[in-house]
Amino acid sequence: MHAIVEQLKSTVAATAATDIRAAFASDPKRFERFSARMDDLLMDYSKCAVNDEIMVQLEKLCAEGGVAAKREAMFAGEAINFTEGRAVLHTALRNRANTPVVVDGKNVMPDVNAVLHAMSGFAEGVRQGTITGSTGKQITDVVNIGIGGSDLGPAMATLALAPFHDGPRLHFVSNVDGAHIADTLKLLQPETTLFIVASKTFTTIETMTNAATARTFIADALGEKAVGDHFAAVSTALDKVGAFGIGSERVFGFWDWVGGRYSIWSAIGLPLMIAVGADNFTEFLSGAHAIDNHFRTAPFRENLPMLLGAIGYFHRNVLDYPTRAILPYDQRLSRFPAYLQQLDMESNGKGVTLDGTPVKGNSGPVVWGEPGTNGQHAFYQLIHQGTSVIPAEFMIAAKGFEPELRHQHELLIANCLAQSAALMKGRTLEEAKGQLLKSGMDAAKADHIAPHRVFTGNRPSITFVYEQLTPFALGRLIALYEHRVFVEGVLFGINSFDQWGVELGKELATGLLPVVQGKAGTDGQDASTTGLVGALSHLAG
Ligand SMILES: O=P(O)(O)OC[C@H]1O[C@](O)(CO)[C@@H](O)[C@@H]1O
């Protein structure tokens, strides 16, 4: 592995591969050679600093890194999340072929199908008004209370699939900041509100605290007995849910082999199903299943997740780029960058390899982004002219859902394509100066101003194009990124499926709560924390 990375670095240095602009000038077939398709989903990576030699080496890297074998181990239910002793089987949740998937000697598919069946019965009951609130009124508002993977997936996907949303209104409460639930409850009538408490562990302090506040909201308005009619729960910890007082017919389970950030396909997707209906949810699963099959069978140069992972690794560990920007040209994908932050950074933000030794080189990059065109008017300045190179990942549908606003979609497409072209082409000093002279500026001033109007170009980007953001297309897009994270994790040599890095802060917060409440002193706290506690308590009065 290390040898191929070194080889890739020398290939980059020796072949002037980073001159993407020159590569386009000399090869009219570059787009055909460095793009791949899966049905209507096109991945254009021709604007990355790759050539055939680099692609051959990346393929070799994936082969030597054992990506294919590890992929099969994941699909087969091996306990690849070894620090937690768990299989990693979110793929079983969308296994529309229903082929057996065996964990600890048991085929999990009957349980997966049974939960899906129960979810659709409940979701359709809420949507059609056969499941009502305690006073018999139809549910108009559903509030999902969860955080991290128990929030980001359904929140992102519900927004993304707004054109398919014909069920009750959905709200998402995640933050332990009381402002979040208070602002949400202000909009709601207890009689017509259903809360879904979503927590894999059913111990997460944010979710349990918000759930207790929601419970009081119902009990105060409708009486203690009404609670059962206004709550449902999603969890792997069914014993803990029972103690909260939610009837078993309203509890939807999943399993420890589903990671939180991979759980949108499980009962965590219940709010999405209530919003768009069971058939659309099934389509969403089918899109992901299509990518799963593609990931397992397509050859490297046609395999979208493999290519995306290999190029991601190339950017991070060969070219040393510290971040990547996710730039959907789709307002409805505005939460997709946040979703990918958890997926990618919680999975691959690790410092040790599988054998516990420090990662050589880099592990996962910082992932960030905002939808275009808004980002253009905010941070694209730095992407175009800043001192760091930031690989950008664009995505755009050929068709919007508003035929009457087609001209707006055309503008959106033009902007998306213009950005990747500008990043690649840039503008030389001569071009900048020529433009200024043409505009009538005198030569001395043009000399002075032109450097500020230079774009270095050669800034890499990947663009995804698809027909329309349907449930199928969204499922495909998410699964594509999941497998990209998997490929990169294998190449980094890390376990992508645990998240010990979130634990220390949680432990310290538990210890600090009595200090903040004034029930314990600051003995043993560091001087900064002691000072901050003092300042906050003084200000709170
Ligand atoms: O679903 P739970 O158990 O409430 O956890 C919420 C989130 O918290 C984390 O464990 C991180 O603290 C995530 O991995 C998870 O998605």
Mean pLDDT of the 22-30 span: 95
Residue % of the chain over a pLDDT of 90: 96
Domain containing 527 equals 503-540
CATH number at residue 35: 3.40.50.10490
- Same domain, yes or no, for 223 and 316? no
The Cα 169–Cα 165 span in angstroms is 9
Asked, for residue 444, whether it belongs to a domain, the answer is: no
- Same domain, yes or no, for 123 and 249? yes
- pTM to 2 decimals? 0.97
Number of independent structural domains in the chain: 3
Q: Residue 16: is its pLDDT beyond 90?
A: no
Asked, for residue 439, whether it belongs to a domain, the answer is: no
Atom of ligand 1 nearest to the CA of 147: 6
- Same domain, yes or no, for 164 and 254? yes
Is position 360 annotated as part of the catalytic site? no
Asked, for residue 36, whether it belongs to a domain, the answer is: yes
Mean pLDDT of the chain: 96
- Same domain, yes or no, for 388 and 404? yes
- Same domain, yes or no, for 119 and 41? no
pLDDT of residue 99: 97
Is position 72 annotated as part of the catalytic site? no
Residues whose beta carbon lies within 6 Å of some atom of ligand 1? 147-150, 199-201, 204, 207, 260-261, 346, 499, 502
Q: What is the pLDDT of residues 292-309, one digit of tens each?
A: 999 999 999 999 999 999
Atom of ligand 1 nearest to the CA of 207: 4
pLDDT of residue 289: 98
Give the 3-state secondary structure percentages of the chain, helix then strand then coil, rounded to 5. Answer: 55, 10, 30
Q: Per the structure block, which two tokens stand in for 131?
A: 């499941």
pLDDT of residue 391: 98
- Same domain, yes or no, for 248 and 373? no
Residue % of the chain over a pLDDT of 70: 100
Query: Counting runs of H as helices and runs of E as strands, what totals does the chain give?
Result: 23, 13
Is position 346 annotated as part of the catalytic site? yes
CA of 149 to the centre of ligand 1 (A): 6
Of 186, 377, 438, 538, the catalytic one is 377
- Same domain, yes or no, for 493 and 518? no
Beta bridge partners of 366: 323
Reported confidence tier of residue 514, pLDDT bands at 50, 70, 90: very high
- Same domain, yes or no, for 46 and 121? no
How far apart, in Å, are the Cα atoms of 535 and each of 516, 531, 540? 11, 6, 9
Q: Residue 464: is its pLDDT beyond 80?
A: yes
- Same domain, yes or no, for 26 and 169? no
Asked, for residue 153, whether it belongs to a domain, the answer is: yes
Of 346, 393, 482, 488, the catalytic one is 346
- Same domain, yes or no, for 314 and 350? yes
The domain boundary, picked from 230, 246, 281, lies at: 281
- Same domain, yes or no, for 230 and 305? no
Asked, for residue 451, whether it belongs to a domain, the answer is: no
Do the bridges between strand 102-103 and strand 323-328 make them parallel or antiparallel, or are there none, so unpaired? unpaired
- Same domain, yes or no, for 485 and 528? no
Mean pLDDT of the 89-96 span: 98
CA of 209 to the centre of ligand 1 (A): 14
Asked, for residue 434, whether it belongs to a domain, the answer is: no
Atom of ligand 1 nearest to the CA of 506: 12
